[in-house]
Amino acid sequence: DKKNNNKERYNLNHLERRPAIFVGIKRDSKIQKARLKLPILAEEQQIMEIINENSIIILAGETGSGKTTQVPQFLYEAGYALEKMIAVTEPRRVAAISMSKRVAQEMSMTSKEISYLIRFEGTVTDQTKIKFMTDGVLLKEVQTDFLLTKYSVVILDEAHERSVYTDILIGLLSRIVPLRNKKGIPLKLIIMSATLRVQDFTENVRLFKVTPPLINIDARQFPVTVHFNKRTNENYLQEAFIKTSKIHKENSEGGILVFVTGQQEVNMLVKKLRNAFPFRNKYKFETQNEKEINDDNRDEENINLQKRLRKKKTKIIPEINLDDYSLPGDNEDSENEELNSDEEFETEMTVVSNNSQPLWVLPLYSMLPSHKQAKVFQPPPPGSRLCIVSTNVAETSLTIPNIKYVVDTGKTKMKLYDKITGVTSYIVTWTSKASASQRTGRAGRMGPGHCYRLYSSAVFNDIFQDYDTPEIQQKPVDDLYLQMKCMNIDKVANFPFPTAPDMLQLKMSENRLTTLGAIKDNRVTPLGRAISKFPVLPRYGKMLALSHQYELLPYTICLVAALSVQEVLLENPIGQTDSEEVKNVRQKWISLRRQWAGTGNFLLLGDAMVLLKAVGAAEYANSEGKLEKFCIENGLRYKAVVEIRKLRIQLTNEIKTNMPEIDIVVDPKLNPPTDLQAKLLRQIMLSGMGDQVAKKITPDELKDGEERRKYKYAYHANNMEEPVYLHQGSVLRKNLPEYVIFQEIYETNKMYMRGVTAIEPEWLPIYVSNLCNLDRPLTEPEPFYDVNSDKIFCYVTGTFGSQNWPIS
């Protein structure tokens, strides 16, 4: 312990011109005590010596050993933040925020000094010493400052997660570090990872000329008993609920950590557990039962229960701050739950608690507001048991104290990209063996623990992959490809990736970007550069880049924001039998959308118009403080609307900085566009989505009894022969325009287009010329000059897309 207070701990004078510096930190004694228990503290001196002697270091250690919270502090104390900043990247926003806060707290410093920066928000100032950020943020910074001159050290944390951006950063920094050293402004790179597959970095000869030293932190890990289920129940949520209930009722003290796949599941399970093991609303559950039994007296019953509840509440657990348990925002968590599945869940699960110990149930997922995230680190109220229901963020990014039991559904949510068509879908799949063992490890931090795997050992042995596939091998790499092009990386295919991405994908990206006009002859074009400045997919970036005409920018910003956010308009859960009630609600939403769409160019702008109107109307409701209610009544997902607003503001700000000549105000309010603007917006959309054009199959092409809503996809370098259909929620379903563009195709029983807008075929040669084969201009009629538009017009003929549709 003395060692840590000794100002001359490191005698580093002989190393790399670095003086023996010690920058003092005033730490709270409690925190200092907790720190000293961390395995990594014992190795501080060794770690710092290796860092001082080497430019690139790999540091691997069990989750919870103190890498993320301590290494930045070691560096700070050793003087690395005196002139430049220490950068720490995290693949997840939740980790960037929460770790910056924790480190600030441990160092008794402010968020101005120990800061974070994520896509939508940040606390960075000119006093910042340690900057936590998402890996995407640092990658953007490389574009404007390739040598990352603001930083003395870059820590790439959670490298084992193998996020695309971290992978790219590793490749880039493997080149940047030697460059900086050559220039005499040394930069350190520390790659931190859980103890998983470190050889991907160490044994990659393309990456590092000299194998970087590997530091392994041994963590104290208590034995964890693994219990497999005999049978694997399909309904893993129900299984998780039952198991958690059982642990709570029968097992000795200790926190429970449950792993499920996504935000919705987290919220659902949290709700069920809170109902089953009431903390404050002890009678809520009974209320629901009695409602069924005695419908007639329901109201009176309720009132009585309410009264009893109010009386009892303060009596049972007086020390609990009730408002703290259910903050006003709590409802928002559940607002996007699917109507049906929730009810189904309800009837199957009727567990009445006979354990008087309350269960303190908390959700944890990446998008959880930070004040709620912070709660998982606090001890539960006295006399209660902690239970955290989490997505895989609790696997390695965040270490929750005092967990003794882990309930592992074995499931994870994965975004699936069809490499050929680009169709995306989310699927719930089995995690890998590596993930499962990480999850198990969470139970052995404070003492011997137990991990309940809700699947059989046969499933584990036979079906689980050893490791998760790195994201770079799954994701369409358009924006990445473009960003890499902007960094003047000539041959993206030759880049030193830790794991090479799919070469077919790279080829497809190149094609798409060429179609967009962002890349020409293997070079990024000025348009491409403009596109890359926008933090959205290149196709949307192009739409924005073209919009400072006719005052379209606010609308395009709104559209792009709305299109970048998933599921703005709530649809029915797919593939479920509809109750009358659900049908009615949906009918109401659809007719409302038609109303929003209007006529003329408004209608032809289609689903995009609905989005514009929906956002405009929601903002109006928001100015009256009725946003949430408005969203519920109009079938909008509240969180999506909030996200759209954030993105709109961010995009507006970014455009203001990048293009100061454009006069644009940040105002969430949005008047509807004029008819002319609506038409121009259709063209703008086409310019960004020219590879997503579909043409209606003509009546004589249709076979008997076939649906009239059948379209053909124009551009398939991807050989997609299957017809695509207008989605039932589309406002264009009544008038079925001949040519449309769509935002995406998704597959249920058929291939459906989502986000559909009508276009005119004569626009194709203008906005998607790259996909047109144009003949020579016809001699008849002659090219002519139009006085009004000051343009010369000529007639051309040709074909469009891989289907060779004739156009003129």
Question: Site residues (CB under 6 A) for ligand ADP?
Answer: 38, 61, 63-70, 98, 102, 377, 399, 401
CB-nearer residue toward ligand ADP: 96 or 680: 96
Helix H, strand E, coil C: the string for 192-220 is EECCCCCHHHHCCCCCCCCCCCEEEECCC
Q: How far is the CB of 405 from ligand ADP (least distance, A)?
A: 16
Which partner, Mg ion, ligand ADP, none, binds residue 483 by CB below 5 to 8 Å per kind? none
Strands (E), 13-121: 56-61, 85-90, 114-117
CB-nearer residue toward Mg ion: 216 or 281: 216
Distance CA 634, CA 641 (A): 12
CB-nearer residue toward ligand ADP: 70 or 556: 70
Is residue 643 within 8 Å of 558, Cβ to Cβ? no
Which partner, ligand ADP, Mg ion, none, binds residue 64 by CB below 5 to 8 Å per kind? ligand ADP
Q: What tokens were used for 740?
A: 């449309």
Which partner, Mg ion, ligand ADP, none, binds residue 65 by CB below 5 to 8 Å per kind? ligand ADP
CB-nearer residue toward ligand ADP: 38 or 553: 38
Which partner, ligand ADP, Mg ion, none, binds residue 409 by CB below 5 to 8 Å per kind? none
Residues whose CB is less than 8 angstroms from the CB of residue 305 and which lie 6 or more positions away in sequence, other chains included: 283, 286, 287, 290
Distance CA 723, CA 297 (A): 55
Closest CA to 165 of 130, 189, 141, 198: 141
438 to each of 161, 263, 265, 321, how far by Cα in Å?
A: 12, 20, 20, 34
Q: How far is the CB of 61 from ligand ADP (least distance, A)?
A: 5
Which partner, ligand ADP, Mg ion, none, binds residue 601 by CB below 5 to 8 Å per kind? none
Q: How far is the CB of 41 from ligand ADP (least distance, A)?
A: 10
Could you count the other beta carbons within 10 Å of the beta carbon of residue 24?
Answer: 8
CB-nearer residue toward ligand ADP: 50 or 500: 50
Positions 48 through 67 that interact with Mg ion (CB under 5 A): 67
**Which of 65, 68, 572, 687 touches Mg ion by CB under 5 A?**
68
Distance CA 334, CA 264 (A): 7
Which partner, ligand ADP, Mg ion, none, binds residue 475 by CB below 5 to 8 Å per kind? none
Q: Is 166 in the site for Mg ion (CB under 5 A)?
A: no
Which partner, ligand ADP, Mg ion, none, binds residue 547 by CB below 5 to 8 Å per kind? none
CB-nearer residue toward Mg ion: 68 or 505: 68
Q: How far is the CB of 31 from ligand ADP (least distance, A)?
A: 9
Distance CA 6, CA 195 (A): 31
Q: How far is the CB of 392 from Mg ion (least distance, A)?
A: 14
Distance CA 422, CA 360 (A): 42
Distance CA 664, CA 541 (A): 17
Distance CA 99, CA 105 (A): 10
Q: How far is the CB of 56 from Mg ion (least distance, A)?
A: 19
CB-nearer residue toward ligand ADP: 387 or 684: 387
Which partner, Mg ion, ligand ADP, none, binds residue 195 by CB below 5 to 8 Å per kind? none
CB-nearer residue toward Mg ion: 67 or 248: 67
Q: DSSP string spanning 520-584?
A: ETTEE-HHHHHHHTSSS-HHHHHHHHT-TTTT-HHHHHHHHHHHHSS-SB--PPTT-PPPHHHHH
Q: How far is the CB of 31 from Mg ion (least distance, A)?
A: 17
Host H or E run for residue 362: strand 359-364
Is residue 190 within 8 Å of 51, Cβ to Cβ? yes
CB-nearer residue toward ligand ADP: 242 or 446: 446
CB-nearer residue toward ligand ADP: 373 or 483: 373
Number of residues that bind Mg ion (CB under 5 A): 2
Provide the pairing of β-strand 403-408 with 449-453. Answer: parallel
Which partner, ligand ADP, Mg ion, none, binds residue 438 by CB below 5 to 8 Å per kind? none
CB-nearer residue toward Mg ion: 90 or 691: 90
Q: How far is the CB of 401 from ligand ADP (least distance, A)?
A: 5
Helices H, strands E: what count in the chain?
A: 31, 27
Q: How far is the CB of 68 from ligand ADP (least distance, A)?
A: 3
H helices within 382-488, ranges in order?
A: 393-396, 433-441, 457-462, 478-486
Residues that bind Mg ion (CB under 5 A): 67-68
